[in-house]
Structure 1
């Protein structure tokens, strides 16, 4: 499975700390409707949930390594993460839904 290979490589590159995916370590994250993000439909949302990514905050907090990891795991959607600005959209939606700001 390509995602498993990518995860193994990135985990090894990070010193084996298991820090990838960074967002999956968050326990008790509030589940958001990730389909509100342009470029994420039901299939991608289900794949993100399977990876432990369930909230806008988790996507908004992705750094360059996390984006690279997610692009590898979502095989075929890597370009969409950047071109559709999932991180920026997630940050905006997090603020809107959870902090009451727009």
Structure 2
């Protein structure tokens, strides 16, 4: 005879529900990241799902690594060098060489200047 509603069934069901809620919150966190990145409107359902598990969702390593790499790529694109590298036909090495040569010229001029 099978017992219904035993504590083992309840505990297993509660644990399974908690794991399911955690996975849903992880997916909601990833979606929220990309909504922020692409300046899309927030989703109340995702926000509620994240709050349901306490608001601080720890992503699995693979997802966390993907988000971290995405953030690093964004930072690089937004940096001055990243912006310059997007300009077509721009030779960064040549630009660096010219800047260094200009600094050397300025140093030499400053050394020769009698006022300095």
- Report if TM-score (shorter chain) is over 0.5: no
Q: Which has the higher helix share?
A: 2
TM-score by length of 2: 0.23
TM-score (norm 1): 0.25
The one of the two structures with greater contact order (alpha-carbon pairs below 8 A, sep at least 6) is 1
